[in-house]
Homo-oligomer: A and B are copies of this chain.
Amino acid sequence: MVVWDEEGFQGPRHEFTVVCPSVLELGFETVRSLKVLSGAWVGFEHAGFQGQHSVLERGDYPGWDAWGGNTAYPAERLTSFRPVACANHRDSRLTIFEQENFLGRKGELNDDYPSLLAMGWDGSEVGSFHVQSGAWVCSQFPGYRGFQYILESDHHSGDYKHFREWGSHAHTFQVQSVRRIQQ
């Protein structure tokens, strides 16, 4: 991926193909625009993969409004980046559970769902996740809006048993849309 110091792909640029724990070390104060040329990435608000994060798939991101997934608390800057290992789209599998610790009713997903209610899930919450394969992004509200949580088969052994494991900014079980991350 390529990052720029200024909006609209202006100013000093830097290209990297592996994990970047802090753009400060590259002489950047922050990243104000970027392009993902291959793969899928996660961008974090703070150095060391801390703070709010955004899934970054292939494409052009001319300013913070392009990656700000959360309208109420958008991450206006990105400081660290890491790649996401995705499975082939057809092979991506995720199990969702009604309650924490993989308890209660469950659902098996292998597609994208902008509305879990519309696919037959009962309620606006998910208690826990098990990622069998692939990488997924789930969102607080329908249509992939609100806080996002990234779920990967190669992190936590694919087990996310409570919202405290979904991400530092997760403070509720509310999840209303889920999709695969595209590489």
A-side interface residues toward B, CB under 8 Å?
A: 36, 54-61, 63-72, 74, 112-119, 124, 137, 140-146, 176-177, 179, 181-183
Contacts and interface: CB of A to CB of B under 8 A. Distances in A.
Contact of A144 (B68, B118, B124, B144): B144
A36 B179 CA distance: 20
A177 to B, nearest CB: 8
A65 B58 contact: no
A116 to B, nearest CB: 7
A69 B57 CA distance: 18
Contacts of A145: 65-69
B144 A57 contact: no
Nearest to A139: B144
A59 to B, nearest CB: 4
Contacts of A143: 54-57, 67, 69, 137, 144
A66 B146 CA distance: 6
